[in-house]
Amino acid sequence: MIKNNMQQQALLKNNFYNIRNIYLTVAISVGYLLLSVLLVGFKTDQLVLIFIFNSLFYISAGTRRFILGFSIFIVYWILFDYMKAFPNYLFNTVHIEDLYNLEKNTFGINYHGLILTPNEYWKINSTAFLDVLTGFFYLTWVPVPLVFATYLFFKNKEQFVRFSLTFVWVNLLGFVVYYTFPAAPPWYVQEHGFEFIAKTAGNTAGLARFDHYFGITLFHGIYSKGSNVFAAMPSLHSSYPVIVVYYGLKNRLGRINIFFFTVMLGIWFSAVYTSHHYTLDVLAGLMCALLGIISFHYLMRYTKLKQLVAKMISAISK
């Protein structure tokens, strides 16, 4: 009996580290690194990603299931990074002045006899309290969806897969709009006016006040790596919390949903307050999220996506 158990354990171990898996992970890692160098240049982040993926893939069966599940988000991040190689302003005219005027005509605020966009109003009337508050809200746009996804991974594999695929699907819809309707953010007009300047570097805009308050360069480091400044509409920052709120309500998380709802409203306000997005961008982000959620359910019902979801659930549940 003991001998049989040892043989079974040895067989499982050999299967876990089989040569096919080793060849496959090496090929994926090398292929990703070479393609990244070709498209966007070498960055240490790429090596960190390769290290994390391979480490979790081989540490244990549990960590392998975890990283395979979160590969959905890794694919999204890689696609987002590769957008640098194909700037959207090469494919369509960037909307600058027309978008600014539409924002002012739709949501303009009368301030001392002048009609200002909400971004201009808040730039003039910013406070240290709001600078700090909006900075913290803007820092949640990545951690909150990922922490929520981690919770779903351990609590409900099916909901995890559905949430992850919805997240990526909403992003893909947003990317389509980025390329069909390139749009400059409010800070671009504040810095450069209505003239189009290709290869404009990213800008921390109002979030610089958060960095200045704490004497750090946190947001400066984040936005210096931006994929494209002319991708302000829709605001995907505003889309993500909508997806989280939807799945939070769907999973009946109770008081946690109050937190999710607060984060959603906070990010929406922060996007405008810091001059990273127009109100129109935020509304477009909301519509993108709703369209993504509705269309995902349609695809689940009328296409073979349901079978794919079932296979993904099986792959991370074994």
> In this structure, are 195 and 291 located in the same domain?
yes
- Asked whether residue 263 is assigned to any structural domain, the reply reads yes
Check residue 273 and give its pLDDT. Answer: 98
Task: Report residues of the chain scoring pLDDT below 50.
Answer: 1, 3, 7-8, 10-12
Strand partners of residue 111: 114
> In this structure, are 140 and 248 located in the same domain?
yes
> In this structure, are 242 and 147 located in the same domain?
yes
The dihedral built from the CA positions of residue 311, 70, 133 and 291, taken in this order, carries a sign that is negative
> In this structure, are 118 and 227 located in the same domain?
yes
Domain boundary at 75, 107, 137, which? 75
Helix (H) or strand (E) holding 114: strand 114-116
Check residue 13 and give its pLDDT. Answer: 52
Using CA atoms, how far apart are residues 115 and 118, in angstroms rounded to an integer? 9
> In this structure, are 298 and 216 located in the same domain?
yes
Please list, in sequence order, all residues whose beta carbon lies within 8 angstroms of the beta carbon of residue 80, skipping any fewer than 6 positions away.
171, 227
Check residue 164 and give its pLDDT. Answer: 96
> In this structure, are 190 and 117 located in the same domain?
yes
Helix (H) or strand (E) holding 265: helix 256-273
> In this structure, are 109 and 57 located in the same domain?
no
Domain boundary at 45, 75, 105, which? 75
- Asked whether residue 226 is assigned to any structural domain, the reply reads yes
> In this structure, are 190 and 306 located in the same domain?
yes
Q: Which domain holds residue 37?
A: 1-75
> In this structure, are 231 and 197 located in the same domain?
yes
> In this structure, are 113 and 204 located in the same domain?
yes
- Asked whether residue 204 is assigned to any structural domain, the reply reads yes
Domain boundary at 75, 100, 130, which? 75
- Asked whether residue 295 is assigned to any structural domain, the reply reads yes
What's phi and psi for 116, nearest 5 deg? -115, 150
Check residue 16 and give its pLDDT. Answer: 79
Check residue 227 and give its pLDDT. Answer: 61
What pTM did the predictor assign? Answer: 0.91
Apex 262 CA angle, 256 and 266, nearest 5: 145
Neighbours of 216 (CB within 10 A): 11
> In this structure, are 10 and 105 located in the same domain?
no
Tell me if 102 sits within 8 A of 96, measured CB to CB: no
Apex 102 CA angle, 99 and 103, nearest 5: 85
- Asked whether residue 85 is assigned to any structural domain, the reply reads no
> In this structure, are 20 and 155 located in the same domain?
no
What angle, 0 to 180 degrees and rounded to 10, lies between the N-to-C axes of helices 143-155 and 236-250? 30
- Asked whether residue 57 is assigned to any structural domain, the reply reads yes
Check residue 14 and give its pLDDT. Answer: 55
- Asked whether residue 12 is assigned to any structural domain, the reply reads yes
- The structural domain count of the chain equals 2
- Asked whether residue 86 is assigned to any structural domain, the reply reads no
